[in-house]
Amino acid sequence: MSKIGRKPIALGGTKVEVKGQAVHYSGGKASGVYTVHDDIEVLFEDALITLKPRVQNRDTNMIWGLHRALLANKIKGADVGFVRKLQIIGLGYKAILKGRNIELSLGFSHKINYELPEGVDLSTDKSGQNLTFSSYDKEVLGTVCSQIRSMRPPEPYKGTGVRYDDEIVARKAGKSKA
């Protein structure tokens, strides 16, 4: 049995309609359709969605938990959305928001322009070093944040670079005098 798959999905403020294998959802931030695998049955009762496998085997257990997690993310994103924070640490390192583009100064000889995909919003503080990304799609949000972090990952000696807000960077000691 899948531990994740057994958990029911709470709807919150999202309206859900189940039509066979298609789950239609609409909330304050987004709406859409999620299609569940044919080996999984969708049950809608008491403002909860439960997924049950039609056949109990190893392959079905794997996709059971996967589809439950993906559907739960779609429903939660449509209702309240997701937020991810990045910090830019370093002298002169900053980000400037220009419409749907971000201009990143990360210590290179040039500035890096990054275009935000649809559905992802960004807010920065005055210094341009604390970035707050928000989106209704958890997958796209994670991809955007990891791409920006990969432009200048945190280095272990000074700790400069782009890091997640809750990330802990293991610091190393520099050269020691003999």
Domains of the chain: 3-79 (3.90.930.12), 82-164 (3.90.930.12)
The Cα–Cα gap between 64 and 6 comes to: 9
What tens digit of pLDDT does each residue of 69-104 get?
999 999 999 999 999 999 999 999 999 999 999 999
CA distance 89 to 107: 11
Residue 44 β-bridge partners? 49
C-alpha span between 105 and 93 (Å, rounded)? 5
pLDDT of residue 177: 75
Mean pLDDT of 49-68: 90
- Model's pTM, two decimal places? 0.88
Distance CA 160, CA 27 (A): 39
Token duo for residue 126 = 């005055």
Identify the bridge partners of residue 84 per DSSP, sorted by sequence position: 133
The label of the residue with tokens 């709470």 reads 10
Share of the chain above pLDDT 90, in %: 84
CB 2 within 8 A of CB 58: no
